[in-house]
Amino acid sequence: MYLECFIILISSIPLLLIYYYKDIKEWIRYRRLSFKFPVADENIFILGNLLDLATSNEHVFNAVRKWNKSEHLKPAYLVTAGPYFALNVLCPDIVEALVSSTKHLQKSLIYSFVKKWLGLGLLTNTGDSWQARRKVLTPAFHFSILQGFISLFNDETRKMVELIKGNHLNVPVNIAPIASDATLYGINGTSMGIRLDQVEGGEEYQNNIRKLSNCISLRSLRPWYFNDIFYFFITTAGRYEYKLTKAVHRFVDDIIKKKAKTFETFNISTDNNFEQFEYRKKKLALLDLLLNDKIKNNSIDDQGIRDEVNTFMFEGHDTTAVNLTFTLMLLACHRKIQDEVYEEIIHILGTDLKKEPTYNDLQEMGLMERCIKESLRLYPSVPFIGRVTSEDIVTRAGIIPKGLSTHIHIYDIHRDPKYWPNPEKFDPSRFLPENCRDRHPYSYIPFSGGPRNCIGQRFAILEVKTVLCGILRNFILEPVDTPETLVLIQELILRARDGVKIKFVPREK
């Protein structure tokens, strides 16, 4: 009996080989082309670069920076961890090939870790479904809608200024959690139309999404956690993440249900005549726009609405907070530029602190915008993004085969001296129109690029500008932490390990 089974098994091998011949051939070609790219240093048999990748966020950050600076690994190299491998990309030409068309829309493995939370929201979705959803959401970020958010950003700024005046004058303050609370307030108001401190369960929700982000960051550094079934069913970390996700979903579902009950549709037009819009008076949130779309055009269902609200919460909160934090630090470290930004604000708003900036005022603040852009160059909130190729890409460095995961290292592209002379220097004049003209368009990609770029980029810049106006009109920023003393770490979002401290000195009246 055993012998018969053995013979059947052995004789079926050639049949299987013939059946899967095409797939096996493709797989061999895929591996052969992938491994033609150089492999990151210190790569150990079977383990690959696991010893560098499965450690602390600080070590990973430094290891990746070391590889990315190595001339022999440029412009793209493989990094491997056990059976997983991905191509790290450092060259704007390859970035352009990857992100400028709608061909390579699929995100890399790392994004699957946020899928339990975000479902098929815009960030994680792919193919036709992504395209359809992007079409539904684009009008929600039209400038006429964004104008309606400015008063909420001003509320958030007022709260932040009061907090600093009350507790943090003239002493070193870690600005990171303060900025995070402020942008959380902003994104809650604009996406769900609520204030977390005034809603039952709001505080718990706030804590849960922070814990959830930590779980996901930790998982991304532990390849043995990559398999969903093993992670969620077997490991304590996975079960804990599952529990948090359920709680976060329950909270958001509840908000959506409550809103839907009393919801009245409205007419929306995105021409330039904002003053007359019906929705302006109502102070609508992004959620209202989605509910309106659901009822009027049937273009999104309840699950879709929940996924998008969760996606805004994830993408629109910490990213902006991190930028605000680093911009404040850079202005504190560069007093002359800080004074010039202050002069620009006073020139546009005058000295009466009661006059809050409008959308048009913020648009006029060119120097402030260049400072934010330069801060995003030095400290891109999203230090890398990932794509899977949907077909071969021929590059000067070799063929990137179909199906390969690629990671575009924004942080290092932004510090490449070929495109950014004296890259460590904070120099907002790099973004004067005359200085941008001849630069490679994909050498500056804090919001990614092409059709899958950040849908919230204008939202983010407006929010940061509003807060900077409030802070700089009330305080002089003095340096405590500097770029030289910061210890950066690699998470899904770029962070400073010990926060970012600055001093707020009241401006003399």
Name which of 48 and 226 has its Cβ closer to ligand HEM.
226
* Cα 370 to Cα 355: distance, rounded to the nearest angstrom: 23
454 among annotated binding-site residues: yes
Residue 379 binds ligand HEM (CB under 6 A): no
With CB under 6 A as the contact rule, the residue among 40, 94, 123, 502 that binds ligand HEM is: 123
Q: Residues 428-467 vs ligand HEM: string with x where CB under 6 A?
A: ------------------xxx---x-xxx--xx-------
Residue 304 binds ligand HEM (CB under 6 A): no
Tokens of 292: 């309106």
With CB under 6 A as the contact rule, the residue among 312, 342, 420, 431 that binds ligand HEM is: 312
CB 286 within 8 A of CB 307: no
With CB under 6 A as the contact rule, the residue among 144, 320, 405, 406 that binds ligand HEM is: 320
* Cα 231 to Cα 249: distance, rounded to the nearest angstrom: 20
Residue 140 binds ligand HEM (CB under 6 A): no
Tokens of 343: 């002069």
Name which of 50 and 256 has its Cβ closer to ligand HEM.
256
Residue 319 binds ligand HEM (CB under 6 A): yes
Residue 315 binds ligand HEM (CB under 6 A): yes
Name which of 368 and 454 has its Cβ closer to ligand HEM.
454
What own/partner pairs with CB < 8 Å and gap ≥ 24 does 4-11 have?
none
* Cα 325 to Cα 151: distance, rounded to the nearest angstrom: 21
For residue 205, the minimal CB distance to ligand HEM (Å) is 17
CB 345 within 8 A of CB 473: yes
For residue 156, the minimal CB distance to ligand HEM (Å) is 13
Return the bridge partners of 84, or none: 81
With CB under 6 A as the contact rule, the residue among 78, 161, 349, 385 that binds ligand HEM is: 385
Q: How far is CA 117 from CA 212, 244, 247, 259, 435, in A?
A: 9, 9, 10, 21, 41
193 backbone φψ class: left, alpha, beta (φ>0; ψ -120 to 50): left
CB 407 within 8 A of CB 385: yes
Residue 382 binds ligand HEM (CB under 6 A): yes
Residue 175 binds ligand HEM (CB under 6 A): no
Residue 364 is given by DSSP the state H
* Cα 39 to Cα 253: distance, rounded to the nearest angstrom: 45
Contacts to ligand HEM by CB under 6 A: 107, 122-123, 134, 311-312, 315-316, 319-320, 323, 381-382, 385, 446-448, 452, 454-456, 459-460
Residues of the binding site for heme: 454
Residues of the binding site: 454
